Homo-oligomer: A and B are copies of this chain.
Amino acid sequence: MAKPIYILNGPNLNLLGQREPGIYGADSLDAIRDRCNPLGEELGFVIDFRQSNHEGELVDWIQQADGASSGVILNAGGYTHTSVALHDAVRAGSVPVIELHLSNIHAREDFRQKSYISPVASGVIFGFGANGYQLAIRAMASLLAENSKT
């Protein structure tokens, strides 16, 4: 059976639903996870859904994902724009990593225009709010299907 898909959420994403709903939407992170599970099932994947405010823990998880997952969907929150450590962790692994953001980071402050994850991600999705998680799961499934062909 396929290894799980890791969905890793970075700092402050545990506040979803409370924090600036105009930007991030009204869904809590739990609500989002609950909508991811059935879609994962439908596409044949268990979803391993986590959140941490700690950069080092996110690095740990990406390292673990390398052997233990089929792929990683990474919403690194604020660390996206500042973390060479996450960049290196993604780059060191061999499973595909999809970068995800809820908001349209390019319509916001200058410091959110730079992503250390993008150059080492397989693909990038942002601006679709909570729906982005569904899109990212489908994108991962296609990616894995395609890779398994080669």
Contacts and interface: CB of A to CB of B under 8 A. Distances in A.
Contact of A125 (B107, B113, B125): B125
24 contacts: A10-B85, A11-B85, A11-B88, A12-B92, A14-B63, A54-B54, A54-B56, A77-B88, A78-B83, A78-B84, A78-B85, A78-B87, A80-B84, A82-B84, A84-B112, A106-B124, A107-B118, A113-B113, A121-B127, A123-B126, A123-B128, A131-B139, A131-B143, A135-B135
Nearest to A117: B106
Interface of A is mostly: helix
Interface of A: 10-12, 14-15, 18-20, 52-57, 59-60, 63, 77-89, 91-92, 104, 106-107, 111-113, 115-116, 118-128, 131-132, 134-135, 138-139, 142-143, 146
